[in-house]
Amino acid sequence: MPPKSMTGFASRRGGNESHNWVWEIRSVNGRGLDLRLRLPDWVEGLEAAIRTELGRRFQRGNISLTLKLAREAGGAEAFRIDPDALAAALAALARTEAAARDAGLSLRPASAAEVLALRGVTEGGTGDEDTTPLRAALLADFASLADDLAAMRAAEGAALADIIAAQIDAIAALTAAASAEAEARRPRMAETLRENLNRVLDNTEGVDEARLTQELALIAVKADVAEEIDRLTAHVAAARGLLAQDGPVGRKLDFLTQEFNREANTLCAKAQAAALTRIGLDLKHAIDQMREQIQNVE
């Protein structure tokens, strides 16, 4: 299974003999799972059940869920409007509209159904109502909504996987090019090292030979990029392996891009050749592009 994206949207309309409702759910990137729910609090147990279901289905992402719930007209005799709560709600709406006008903004007028759905407006006559059947109907409909969101995140994830796989291939090709360039520069580096050695030996009267040997070895190590290329090759294999895994891999891939970037930086620092430096910079660019895409992976 390809990785899943953290980006998605779904909406549904539903209803039963007493109520009708509209769901909207959105998901964007997040470090963990952050749930922001706007649900009617008078439906007992609804929020707890939905939080549990979302936690079971999704591991990461900032998820916002809104439920607009209103009674069917035929069920009007089953509840009473609380006059005080209605007056307070209308006054609050009027103040909001006035503030918006003062700020030069234009708001869409609230519908009667939306006003009735405001907290407390219709609770006065429903305090002793058994909301168990309504909760069951809402949860059954919510399951389909969650399926829709999961399907969109999966589709987005499949598209991301293709993009990231192509970026990994580009990094692998650049790593191979760096290896070839490092091998091609080996004779030049050996000649440079010999010239430096001869220059040092011409001016080493009284110099500690052991210290001289250490310094020359250090110069050779600083110019050798074989270890960085080996690690880049290993990171490519690890990234491909993660991309093929089932389940959340976004955090692991993000960590891996940091390791990619560390090796690319060291490669540039050790390059001592224009061609190898260009490859190192291209590597950094490809790694940054991959990291941008990985931020969307669950």
Domain that holds residue 222: 156-294
Q: Is residue 2 part of a domain?
A: no
User: 178 and 130: one domain?
Assistant: no
Q: How confident is the model over 1-27, as a mean pLDDT? A: 94
Q: How confident is the model over 50-76, as a mean pLDDT? A: 88
- Split into its structural domains, the chain has a count of 2
- What pLDDT does residue 125 have? 42
Which of 88, 60, 83 is CA-nearest to residue 254? 60
- What pLDDT does residue 177 have? 96
Q: How far is residue 238 CA from its own chain's centroid?
A: 20
Q: Name the maximum alpha-carbon separation found in the chain.
A: 108
- What pLDDT does residue 77 have? 46
Cα 139 to Cα 104, 117, 149, 230, distances in angstroms: 40, 18, 15, 52
Q: Which two tokens stand for residue 239?
A: 């990234």
- pLDDT > 60? residue 192: yes
Residue ending a domain, among 109, 134, 155, is 155
- pLDDT > 60? residue 75: no
Dihedral sign (CA 185, 188, 189, 190): positive
User: 19 and 146: one domain?
Assistant: yes
Could you report the per-residue pLDDT of 77-126, keeping only the tens digit for each? 455 778 888 888 889 889 998 898 888 888 888 888 778 777 677 754 44
Please give the share of the chain, as a percent, with pLDDT higher than 90. 60
Q: What is the DSSP letter of 109?
A: P
Could you report the per-residue pLDDT of 193-215, keeping only the tens digit for each? 666 666 666 666 655 656 555 65
User: What global pTM score does this model have?
Assistant: 0.71
Could you report the per-residue pLDDT of 230-280, keeping only the tens digit for each? 999 999 999 999 999 988 999 999 999 999 999 999 999 988 888 999 999
Dihedral sign (CA 262, 283, 32, 249): negative
Residue ending a domain, among 133, 155, 177, is 155
First to last CA, the chain: 13
Q: Which residues contact 283 (CB under 8 A, 6 or more apart)?
A: 171, 174, 175, 178, 232, 260, 264, 267
Q: Is residue 243 part of a domain?
A: yes
Q: How confident is the model over 37-65, as a mean pLDDT? A: 95
Strand pairing of 33-38 and 61-71?
Answer: parallel
